[in-house]
Structure 1
């Protein structure tokens, strides 16, 4: 069980951490996505910080399980909000969202199964 937990957690942390970096370095893609979803560009760094916190929280969950649980749950909520932002503007390009969402849900499930 630990192998599945570690693999999924590290994968989720890598994906969300990579996304956080693109948001925080000012890459054009997150800005274009914010414009598409009619989200103020001033939110892009904040969203990047939330992703970074979730990514680090997943990794911290190896040492403090409650932190990992909260980080995974927070990322599930983050990507639920992202789905709402997509649907609100009629965007049906959900493949990227689905990859992230399934990964963080899997991280939450294996975390709960391993620790509780």
Structure 2
């Protein structure tokens, strides 16, 4: 495992974990856009849980690479779905936000040992 992979993976995990925490505490700057995009409130805990699980999976993946790859792929699918949701809501100025989470996850996968 390279130092770059370790640093990028830990950064991605903390960053995605912060995103999950923001949903759990219902941070205004997170939940207001979710409402505007039409994401039902009943989904919010599940979305936060998916992000939290992905963040934990990235860290565990440092020791069990297959889990890290699975978590990374899951998070890429999650944030791709977020981009699509933002585009469907025609909130084009918000497209960079899910990309800011997707990019470090993709970088962690690219730097990883693979399977």
Q: Which structure 1 segments of 5+ residues have no match?
A: none
Q: TM-score, normalised by structure 2?
A: 0.92
1:57 Cα offset (Å): 0.1
Q: Which moved more, 1:82-91 or 1:23-32?
A: 23-32
Q: Secondary structure in 1 aligned to 2:92?
A: coil
Would you say the 8 A contact 2:16–2:55 is kept in 1? yes
Q: Paired residue for 2:110?
A: 109
Describe how 1:1-116 pairs up with structure 2 within 5 A.
Answer: 2-93=2-93, 94-111=95-112, 114-116=113-115
- Name segments (4+ residues, structure 1) moved above 3 Å: none
Cα distance per residue 1:36-59 (max 9 Å; x no partner)? 111101111110000000000000
TM-score (norm 1): 0.91
Root mean square deviation of aligned Cα: 1.3
Mark the runs of 5 or more structure 2 residues left unpaired by the alignment: none
User: CA deviation digits over 1:7-47, x for unaligned, max 9?
Assistant: 11001001100001111122223221211111101111110
Q: How far apart, CA to CA, are the structure 1 residues paired with 2:114 and 2:107?
A: 14
**Alignment length, in residue pairs?**
114
Q: Is the 8 A contact 1:37 1:86 kept in 2?
A: yes
Residues of 2 paired with 1:96 and 1:55: CA distance? Answer: 17
- Residues 60 and 67, structure 1, Cα contact 8 Å, conserved in 2: yes
